[in-house]
Amino acid sequence: MMIGVSNKVGVERGTGGEVRQGGAVGILEAALTVLSVLLILLTFPFSAWSCVQVKLEYERAVIFRLGRVVKGSAKGPGLVWFIPWLDVIQKVDLRILSIYIYPQQVLTADSVPLLVDTVVFYRVVDPTLWFTQVQNGYDATYWLVQATLRAVLGAHKLTDLLTQRPTIAMRMEEVLQPGSRPWGVQVQRVELRNLKLPKLLRRSLGSEAEAVRTARAMMLVAEGEVKASRTLREAASHLSPEVLRLRYLQTLASVDSSASVVVWILPTEILRLKTQNSSNRDTAGTAELSHPEREELLQAEPNKSEL
């Protein structure tokens, strides 16, 4: 019984289950449209002021006539004609828009809490879907970005977030594209602005980095000293005694006079004489020994050297 009544008023069901209006209702809508156009033509040009709007280059208009979207793409830019008592015009901006996501608490894959704020740039590419598939496209895009941010960052470790931020931003773009496309939105770019770590974690990371830098500096200094000692040894092997004496005097002159250093200057001849006397004394002592004692002493010296 209900099906028969529905067919009488012109309600039909399509193959996908959607309800389509036809019959008497369609004829009535067409009649109202024709009468409205005739009325506008009869009162022209006075009616032109209320039947036209100007849309800017970056604006598009979606016209709903008797509750249905007018066939064709969105109207604009320029003059847009409509029937004021039958049509409702919805305007959309096609320029790139931005969404700022305030700092969100995110837990990484290695259980590190972070505060992350993000900026997302997007634009409307299909005005009809923007008005017919979602109630509030701005709020829907905001909540989608917020949920995607937590899901994507929660799948990565802290080291990845600190070293691979561009890669993670591109991953967010890939996830946002299929989610926002059904309501006519195209995500242009995602930027992770700031990653705020807990204070204790920042201190530990800073201490670790400082320790690494200190160890690296000590290694460089040690390598430099080794190279300098090798170079000095090679240079000393090619210098004559006179040049060594001049180098000795130059080193004494380079000592800072303001430093609390006491320098005793002794001629190198005195040191040389002292060395010769000590060697002569050892030779004389060895000569005074008897032949068996000298042999024992000579045999003991290699043993001492081996020890």
In which residue are the tokens 């995110």 written? 106
pLDDT, residue 269, reads 67
- Asked if 297 and 287 touch (Cβ cutoff 8 Å), the reply is no
pLDDT, residue 93, reads 93
In which residue are the tokens 């701005």 written? 138
pLDDT tier at 250, thresholds 50, 70, 90: confident
Which residues, in sequence order, are bridge partners of residue 118? Answer: 101, 192
pLDDT tier at 306, thresholds 50, 70, 90: very low
CA distances to 67, 108, 110, 158, 199 from 162, in Å: 51, 12, 13, 6, 16
pLDDT, residue 59, reads 93
* DSSP at 154: T
If you average pLDDT over residues 45-50, what whole number do you get?
Answer: 83
If you average pLDDT over residues 69-79, what whole number do you get?
Answer: 88
- ω into 45 cis (within 30 of 0): yes
Separation between Cα atoms, residue 145 and residue 172, nearest integer Å: 9
pLDDT, residue 9, reads 36
Q: How many other C-beta atoms lie within 10 A of the C-beta of residue 62?
A: 22
Is pLDDT above 50 for 305? Answer: no
Separation between Cα atoms, residue 155 and residue 161, nearest integer Å: 10
Separation between Cα atoms, residue 131 and residue 126, nearest integer Å: 9
- Residue pLDDT, tens place only, 154-176: 898 888 888 888 899 999 999 99
**Can you say whether residue 102 is alpha, beta or left, with left for phi > 0 and alpha for psi between -120 and 50 degrees?**
beta
Closest CA to 128 of 64, 82, 189: 64
**Can you say whether residue 210 is alpha, beta or left, with left for phi > 0 and alpha for psi between -120 and 50 degrees?**
alpha
Orientation of helix 165-180 relative to helix 137-153, angle to 10°: 140
Top-confidence residue, 306 or 231:
231
Q: Give the predicted TM-score (pTM) of the model.
A: 0.60
pLDDT tier at 284, thresholds 50, 70, 90: low
- Asked if 92 and 117 touch (Cβ cutoff 8 Å), the reply is no
The amino acid that residue 248 corresponds to is Y
pLDDT, residue 30, reads 87
Average confidence score pLDDT of the chain: 78
